[in-house]
Structure 1
Amino acid sequence: MAIVGLRNLVYAPLLTDPSEGKATYGAVKPFAPAITAGVETAQESATQYADNGPIDVMTQIGETTLSLTVDEIPMEVLAEILGQEIKKGVIAYKQSAVGPYLALGFAGNKSDGNERVVWLTKGRFSIPSDEWNTKTDSPEFQNQEIEGTFIRRDADEVFKIVGDTAVAEFAPYREEFFEEVFDYTKLDTPIV
């Protein structure tokens, strides 16, 4: 089934990402009303040749680029995801600020009524682009575009978690998928 919608754009700050153990996250918070989300994961392939022909193929997965178009990112969210300080509704952007790592989640509605749900587990955002236009006779919305770069977690090398509500075995996890950054290891535990 085709994806026909986008909703529930949320994020959670990454608190710890040890090389052994589990990554931990802060509370899941709303990001902004979503319009579009483009996710592209870089991949490079190389082919080994011997005896006058190909004998092996190796693929390396790289960073994942997220391009979002949203209605408007609230100032508090913007300050938090960019590592900037907000005072009384004002952000004075500092060049030295470093945004925190965070996870970003969203749901894509499918044409059959089900959903494809996604968490990107570790990434940072760049300062969004803005565009302002003068008013004309007909209203024209100006949206915000922001890009993020996501990588694998150190704890388990996971960079993306995807669930599909059309799969019957996913039903017990549907409601909790966005309560926190989904812990895929619970899939190994039998449901009682």
Structure 2
Amino acid sequence: MPYAVGLKNFHYAILTDDASTGATYEAPAKLAEAVNVAVEPNIATGRLFGDNSVVSTSSKFNYAGVTIGTTKLPAKDEAALLGKTLGSDGVLRSKGVAPYVAFGYEVEMDDGSSEFWWLLKGKFQEPSRTQNTGTDSIEYGQPTIVGEFIRRDFDKEWKFVGNEENIGFTAGATWFGSVYQPTP
């Protein structure tokens, strides 16, 4: 069984329509180099008690908190992810309404295979950045951006994950050309 050893290929795509007949996205755009990603599902769990013990349990997905770290977050990408305006003067405005986006990435495995992810409908929030003054060593500042992903209206899916070790998975070479849509 392969184990995760690397991370690369951060991409996002603006969700333009999530209707009962299907979901439509703009062409994916590549973000700066991947540093880290954390996907933390929020799951509601219920238990039915009877005769002094649990007789049934059920759970449901509510949303997933997603935190990504990149080597940088260029103004054009921040504008797209947060619905901000990048003026013709090159200045990023602070106002904006974040659109729903899909977020994709690739996890490299220790056997040379990869796992491919698309989180399908989420909004990102203002990024955090930490920079330090120069010292006698070099420290890079890296932005972190947090989002919340929910189920699509269209099919109630919130993620797709393809793994090259899965029988029949052949979409790895084209995974980031568009947001993955399953074949019927």
Shorter-chain TM band: over 0.9
| Partner SS for 1:72 | coil
> Are residue 153 (structure 1) and residue 152 (structure 2) matched?
yes
Deviations 1:87-118 (A, max 9, x none): 12211202xx2110000000000011111110
Q: CA deviation at 1:174?
A: 2.0
Q: CA deviation at 1:52?
A: 3.0
Q: Tell me, which stretches of 5 or more residues in structure 1 are unaligned?
A: none
| Partner SS for 1:103 | strand
Q: CA deviation at 1:168?
A: 3.1
Equivalent residue number for residue 59 of structure 1:
59
Q: CA deviation at 1:32?
A: 1.8
> 2 CA distance for matches of 1:31 and 1:3?
21
Q: Give the aligned length.
A: 182
> Are residue 15 (structure 1) and residue 13 (structure 2) matched?
no
> Are residue 134 (structure 1) and residue 133 (structure 2) matched?
yes
Equivalent residue number for residue 49 of structure 2:
49
Q: CA deviation at 1:34?
A: 0.7
Q: CA deviation at 1:64?
A: 0.6
Please list every run of at least 4 consecutive aligned residues from structure 1 whose deviation after the TM superposition is greater than 3 angstroms.
Answer: none
> Are residue 183 (structure 1) and residue 184 (structure 2) matched?
no
1:154-173 alignment to 2 at 5 Å?
154-171=153-170, 173=171
Contact 2:15 2:26 in 1 (8 A): yes
> 2 CA distance for matches of 1:101 and 1:55?
39
Letter in 2 for 1:106: Y
1:20-169 alignment to 2 at 5 Å?
20-87=20-87, 88-94=89-95, 97-169=96-168
TM-score (norm 2): 0.95
TM-score (norm 1): 0.91
Letter in 2 for 1:180: S
> 2 CA distance for matches of 1:174 and 1:79?
28
Q: Tell me, which stretches of 5 or more residues in structure 2 are unaligned?
A: none
> 2 CA distance for matches of 1:61 and 1:5?
27
Q: CA deviation at 1:182?
A: 0.2
Deviations 1:103-137 (A, max 9, x none): 00000000111111100000010000111111111
Contact 2:69 2:145 in 1 (8 A): yes
| Partner SS for 1:175 | helix
Q: CA deviation at 1:51?
A: 2.9
Letter in 2 for 1:12: A
Letter in 2 for 1:183: Q
> Are residue 174 (structure 1) and residue 172 (structure 2) matched?
yes
% identical equivalent positions: 32
Cα root mean square deviation, aligned: 1.0
Letter in 2 for 1:123: G
Q: Is the strand fraction higher in 1 or 2?
A: 2
| Partner SS for 2:84 | coil
> 2 CA distance for matches of 1:65 and 1:109?
22
> 1 CA distance for matches of 2:34 and 2:175?
18
